[in-house]
Structure 1
């Protein structure tokens, strides 16, 4: 793929994707300059303080700074002016219509286009609609600067691992131009993985199609879980049986309170809008989105029923506020979406999350932040587990029972052992789990011979 010795990489944006990209590329031996518009964030990173919660990221930042291969600067211009490759990792949030908002991306491109060195390659790593590489190229309007699409496939909580152990590297360039594509692919030459070089539009669609498939899969399994409750079947057993099929696999077969986070909600809406603009009716994706909203409504219905049919003035305890365990990310969290629905019906909410230590104005306004799970449970008519933090399995459920006013525990992640909870006199409800005392699935392995 060609050596990258002497190449300087600018990473614009120090969020989840940008900081992970910068730190990991530095660990692969590249000289990386990472830029952000937040002075406090830049100062913290210069001190070696990671600004996101990701296993391994702090160590990589410290090592990169010590080696001199990683530096942090304020503003895109300061990073791009001397770069051979500029990687854009700026926010592309969902706009009012559901389409991706490219305001930040366009602003950065406009800022740096006249500063880019001759022969520089600009890389879109942010999740962007199909056609954005061509749009960025038109904004730059320089024949000597190529624009390449190189989507990220990082899971929060596993971002460093996923970057350094990728399933694949996707690089898309105009007309499948191999020269800029090879330069970008060479950044990852020390990683043992498949590299797919394609056109820019295909690369951009690969990212959306991957995330939207996962969202559809989650909506499917939540619907199967609902059916299990009607038919007195066990979703644990059903998904275990499905997962042994090589054509299906075990991943993304866990029911929950609905999917969320920084990617799936905005990516599903963005692809749906892209399909509509192209004249295609993506009915399956629309159904997946509608099913996700319904899943949140079903959880609220369980809580309402546990509280006696009316939530007005009723205290409800919540375990978990982030969109998934292992992160401090509250963006589009299904936990908070459900909290908002409960609050709209008059519930008084007390919530605990291991990574949320204080209120976040405009985000956690519906929830009083508790210092421990036991404080969240105190006086509550029901306790609702919304995020799959492993430590919730090890709670003293007898102590929880003593603090609860009611008896209901609603486990929207199927994280807990129903028998352990039931032994304390509490009433356990999972998602797609029939009865409060039936044990989860047990796999029996046939012995050879």
Structure 2
């Protein structure tokens, strides 16, 4: 098929590249001429593992191209994907659909007979209806179709998520749109579930999924606080409940709160949609409040770890992006944590393997360095906020030697507490009371991992 993708942001760039990888003729179009020029010169606007390899391979095979010429991109395309941004409107929380509607208006004169316009941007219920109305003001009804095809890409593993998804959701109101979209996905994905529904349900599925996962993260984070008070271990608690197939073990890693481009924006947008329809989503509302509070609460954990006062002290923050394997700083927990530490009088240095450039746009008065050991030099505490593999592999003994004080606040369980303690650190983690963690670490000295887990589980049950 000939496919056009409007928007070369995260969703558009990954989706267009992966469609080309499946053998389709794909043109990605964007109004930003500088971005298109840089992409054509091999400089991608986002960091995503293996994306540069796939872009180069498919451009070389003449299956993938990038342009600012909307007319040439749309002409003769059988499917046109709208993959533009839908950011939260400042001060309101609902999705800003201006880019979606603009794309619909501008593509309409160039749509081929029988083309399917598929909205891949995350949009509220009813957006497909509005897009159809906009296009119908130019094109004859029945000469085109509008479908909903939400994306479920996780930053850092987006290529795998697209090429081998858990499911594909297709929302359509007519048989032609359903047939075209099924033909697009069925052959390359084989037995992958294809959920075919109406447009409104498809639009709501994306918001509901992200809100549920955000709630799951917030749930385990609040239980981590309880674990710290009663002296139990949140990691083992998560294992114990996650093995229940009805619950599952994903998104049960306690940490400093969720961030990124989806969960914060989509939970807030879902809340606004419900309010517009007079529906109360109390769980979603409390999830949003609890998550925002948690990010700043992590600063208090750092303050406690250094003795109750960070005024005049130097804090090194390792990992700035909201998760590993991305350069995305949107809603990253590191930002409110750092801002709070600065208000308490701390001097903050930061390190991230790929996120320093984007971090410099959102952080003020933070020295950003390209080496974790230099970041920690003469620091009074090191705080791990993002669990990059390169951070997990840090030489703890070397890290301790360059620091002024031996305080490690591990908000992502990146290190074994026993190994950090052996390197000379005073360790503060999430979901364990410090003295409890030290007692449990003794068990790992001469006992293999599986056996020690059993012993620790019995101890927790016996408290």
What TM-score comes out, normalization by structure 2 length? 0.90
Deviations 1:188-222, CA, capped at 9 Å, x for gaps = 12212111111011001110111110000000000
Residues 328 and 358 in structure 2, CA contact (< 8 A), matched pair in contact too:
no
Alpha-carbon separation, structure 2, partners of 1:335 and 1:366: 14
Residues 212 and 268 in structure 1, CA contact (< 8 A), matched pair in contact too:
yes
Residues 350 and 369 in structure 1, CA contact (< 8 A), matched pair in contact too:
yes
Alpha-carbon separation, structure 1, partners of 2:238 and 2:124: 33
- Change in Cα spacing, 1:271 to 1:443, as seen in structure 2 (3 Å) is farther
Alpha-carbon separation, structure 2, partners of 1:419 and 1:133: 54
Residues 311 and 342 in structure 1, CA contact (< 8 A), matched pair in contact too:
yes
- Tell me the secondary structure at the aligned position of residue 350 of structure 2: strand
Residue 187 of structure 1: which of 175, 178, 184 is its match? Answer: 184
Alpha-carbon separation, structure 2, partners of 1:108 and 1:78: 14
- Tell me the secondary structure at the aligned position of residue 9 of structure 1: strand
- Change in Cα spacing, 1:37 to 1:360, as seen in structure 2 (3 Å) is farther
Q: Which runs of 5+ in 1 are unaligned?
A: 1-6
What is residue 222 of structure 2 aligned with on the other side?
223
Alpha-carbon separation, structure 2, partners of 1:71 and 1:178: 30
- Tell me the secondary structure at the aligned position of residue 51 of structure 1: coil
User: More deviation in 361-370 or 401-410?
Assistant: 361-370
Alpha-carbon separation, structure 1, partners of 2:362 and 2:102: 26
- Change in Cα spacing, 1:54 to 1:85, as seen in structure 2 (3 Å) is same
Within-5 A mapping of 1:44-443:
44-96=38-90, 97-141=92-136, 142=139, 143=141, 144-174=143-173, 177-189=174-186, 190-192=188-190, 193-358=192-357, 360-435=359-434, 436-437=437-438, 438-439=440-441, 442-443=449-450
Distance apart, 1:35 and its partner CA: 0.9
Residues 320 and 334 in structure 2, CA contact (< 8 A), matched pair in contact too:
yes
What is residue 457 of structure 2 aligned with on the other side?
none
- Tell me the secondary structure at the aligned position of residue 316 of structure 1: strand
What is residue 458 of structure 2 aligned with on the other side?
none
Residues 305 and 428 in structure 2, CA contact (< 8 A), matched pair in contact too:
no
- Change in Cα spacing, 1:366 to 1:134, as seen in structure 2 (3 Å) is farther
Distance apart, 1:56 and its partner CA: 2.3
What is residue 21 of structure 2 aligned with on the other side?
27
Distance apart, 1:49 and its partner CA: 4.2
User: More deviation in 379-388 or 363-372?
Assistant: 363-372
Alpha-carbon separation, structure 2, partners of 1:185 and 1:368: 50
Alpha-carbon separation, structure 2, partners of 1:157 and 1:443: 30
Deviations 1:22-42, CA, capped at 9 Å, x for gaps = 111111111100112222321
Distance apart, 1:187 and its partner CA: 1.2
Alpha-carbon separation, structure 2, partners of 1:341 and 1:81: 52
Distance apart, 1:443 and its partner CA: 4.2
Distance apart, 1:138 and its partner CA: 1.4
- Change in Cα spacing, 1:120 to 1:103, as seen in structure 2 (3 Å) is same
Alpha-carbon separation, structure 2, partners of 1:51 and 1:98: 26
What is residue 3 of structure 1 aligned with on the other side?
none
Alpha-carbon separation, structure 2, partners of 1:419 and 1:307: 19
User: More deviation in 386-395 or 72-81?
Assistant: 72-81
Distance apart, 1:346 and its partner CA: 2.8
Alpha-carbon separation, structure 1, partners of 2:260 and 2:343: 22
Deviations 1:327-354, CA, capped at 9 Å, x for gaps = 1111111112222222233321100001
- Tell me the secondary structure at the aligned position of residue 93 of structure 2: coil
Distance apart, 1:359 and its partner CA: 6.5
